[in-house]
Amino acid sequence: MTAPTHPGERPAPRTLVPTFALTAVVSALVVVAAVTAAPASVRAPLALGASAAALLLCAAVTWAVHAARAARGARRRLEAVSQDIGRLLQQQARTTEEARQEQQRLIDELAQQRSEFAESFEQERTRNQQDVGKELDWYRQENDRLTAELERALRERAVAIAAAGNAAGRMQALATATLADLRAMEDRHTGEDILADLLHLDHRTAQAGRLADSIAVLTGARSGRRWARPISMESILRGAMGRISGYRRVRVHSVSEIAVAGHAAEGVMHALAELLDNAANFSPPTAEVHVYVEEVPAGVIVSVEDSGLVMGDVQLRRAERAVAGDITELGGLTGTRLGLAVVGRLSRKYGLKVSFRPSARGGTGVLMLVPQDLLTRPVTDEPEPAEETEPAEPVPVAADPPPVHESAASDSAEEFEEGPTGLPRRRRGRTLAEAERRSAPPPAEPRPAPRGADAQLRAARFNSFRQAVRPPAPDSAETSAEAYGAPGEAAPHAPVPAHDPVPAPHPESGSELTSHPHAYPEGDPTS
Amino acid sequence: MSRPGRDDAPDRLYTITGGRSGTGSDSPFDLVTLVVAESEPVPGMQSEHAAILRLAKFPTSVVEIAAELKLPVSITKVLLCDLQAAGRVSARHPYRPAITDPDILEQVLVGLRNL
């Protein structure tokens, strides 16, 4: 059998030649020797046979040598291959080992790195936590600090506002007292020059009082003075006019008889004064400001029209917002533009509604609605007050200057205001006084009954004269007397009980005397 | 000094007269001038004017009107001047008193002292 051989490993035929030659020589020698030694008879065949055998032998030897060589080469190759395989196996094992080691190394490395990462992450986390904790602490401290600061600021703000309001209230009181003083002086000094100066001072003081009122309103302090009785619309408008510098330019067109309830009168007056001041300030110095009063079902609309600047959209919106009273902060106020903010506060407090519109006069018109619940109408009740004041009849006022009684003045003014309707206005406490009068017996009054005796008649006339000087009823006179004497106690117990002693006998005496309070049928005794 | 009373009026005097404090020296009114209304009050009138017209239905002196209105005489004169300019009142001076003899006055004085 022949193994697959490499061409290089197959024994080359040339290498077999010596073997073959050697075998041939040996066999030839053997054949020759044999032939020589053999009898002649067998020499021929022997030679033939021996030669053939020698040839075969040569061939066999050559073949054997060749085969042996081939086997040796194959064995060598087999060994080489086996060695190769072994080497390869070793190499494989080594590679495997290396791979395993590499893998192990990587795993170790990975684990190490993972632990490192975990560790560093842990550190980072704790550091972050510490940082966050520190920041949190800082923020907390900051928060506490700011909270404390805010509280302090709020407290200071409240204190400052209270102080400003307090000061404004005292300013108000001073201004009001000064105005009362000035009014008394105006009554006392008859010289026209002095009166002019006093009126000038009066006007200045009224404006200062309005400023104090404004500050009081903005600081939420008690606003202004309270009026104990309804104030007629005419007086409201005049009171508002009297507090602005340009009052001479204000023209009032009002036929309204309506009055504003005492508690709201000051607020309405103040709001109107601010609106009038705006209108007068923002119109040319010679232009007039017109005020119209119109009664509507919802109340009374007071419109203030100027011929000055028309407000732009932005200004208009800002003004509308200011007078709506929605803004309660004091921020954004300037010292010279308090007016609309004051109007806003007052509108909110009293339910006034203020709106703006272009005026037909070319400027801005402001409408202020005074709601119905702030208004009182002159009550059309029984015609008694005419009788009540009738003791004024017998002896009218003499030439001596009448004593100053504010209360009497205002009350008589009220009587007069009621006039156009011909019907009197109900005064405070009269209903109660009348009820008491009906129940109680009429006090013994010397005046009406004994007309015969001259002395008594004179006494009665003198009494009536006093009544004439203080027309309405002693209640208000007493009230004002008390107010002058002890003003602090005057208000609470003034009006009602003082009512009945003198007015009581009037119903009886009324028929004999003249019915009209201001008619003097007996003539003027001074003439 | 006086204190603000509960019955003060909010009107200031200068708003009543529009800032005028007097009528000057040529005013036809003095304290005892008698004033008579020539018309009825009309709606829309200033309340003092209406009050004067109501007061002066019968001849009334300026000082009386001032006392009734509780206004200073100068202010009242301004109002009366306005009304007179509008033809709503007329003014006349009172008749001179019949007794002008100083003797009689002296006798009256003596009699008064003897009371």
**Alpha helices, DSSP H, located in chain B:** 13-17, 47-55, 62-69, 73-85, 102-114
In this complex, do A419 and B51 lie within 8 Å of one another by their Cβ atoms? yes
Tell me the percentage of chain A whose pLDDT exceeds 90. Answer: 22
* Residues, chain B: 115
Give B63's contacts in chain A (Cβ within 8 Å).
397, 399, 401
A500 confidence band (pLDDT: 50, 70, 90): very low
Higher pLDDT, A395 or B17: B17
Q: Is A261 helix (H, G, I), strand (E, B) or coil?
A: coil
In this complex, do A176 and B74 lie within 8 Å of one another by their Cβ atoms? no
Chain B residue with minimum CA distance to A203: B14
Strands of the sheet containing B34-37, edge to edge, are B60-61, B34-37, B89-92
The confidence score (pLDDT) of residue A11 equals: 54
The confidence score (pLDDT) of residue A110 equals: 94
The neighbour count for residue A382, using CB atoms within 10 Å, is 13
Nearest to A442 by CA among A507, A368, A366: A507
Distance (Å, rounded) from C-alpha A500 to C-alpha A433? 6
Give the mean pLDDT of chain A: 74
Distance (Å, rounded) from C-alpha A383 to C-alpha A368? 34
Q: Which amino acid is at A150?
A: L
Residue B34 has phi, psi (to 5 degrees) of -90, 135
**Segment A413-422 mean pLDDT:** 43
Higher pLDDT, B30 or A516: B30
The Cα-based distances of A241 to A247, A304, A322 in angstroms read 5, 12, 22
Beta-bridged to residue A300, according to DSSP, are A295, A370
Suggest the residue from A198, A247, A458, A527 to mutate for an interface test with chain B (most B CBs closer than 10 A). Answer: A527
Domains of chain A: 13-150 (no CATH), 226-376 (3.30.565.10), 384-510 (no CATH)
Domains of chain B: 13-114 (1.10.10)
Write the pLDDT tens digit of every residue in A277-322: 988 888 888 888 899 999 888 889 999 988 877 777 787 887 887 7
Write the pLDDT tens digit of every residue in A368-392: 999 988 888 764 433 333 333 333 3
Among A242, A412, A484, select the one facing B68 at the smallest CB separation. A412
Suggest the residue from A185, A254, A410, A493 to mutate for an interface test with chain B (most B CBs closer than 10 A). Answer: A410
The Cα-based distances of A416 to A106, B18, B50, B56, B93 in angstroms read 116, 21, 8, 12, 26
A75 confidence band (pLDDT: 50, 70, 90): very high
Residue A199 has phi, psi (to 5 degrees) of -65, -40
B58 contact partners, CB below 8 Å, separation of at least 6:
A519, A520, B36
Write the pLDDT tens digit of every residue in A23-51: 888 888 888 888 888 888 888 888 888 88
Give A253's contacts in chain B (Cβ within 8 Å).
44
Write the pLDDT tens digit of every residue in A505-517: 444 443 444 344 4
Among A190, A225, A479, select the one facing B4 at the smallest CB separation. A225
A65 contact partners, CB below 8 Å, separation of at least 6:
A11, A16, A19
Distance (Å, rounded) from C-alpha A505 to C-alpha A448? 8
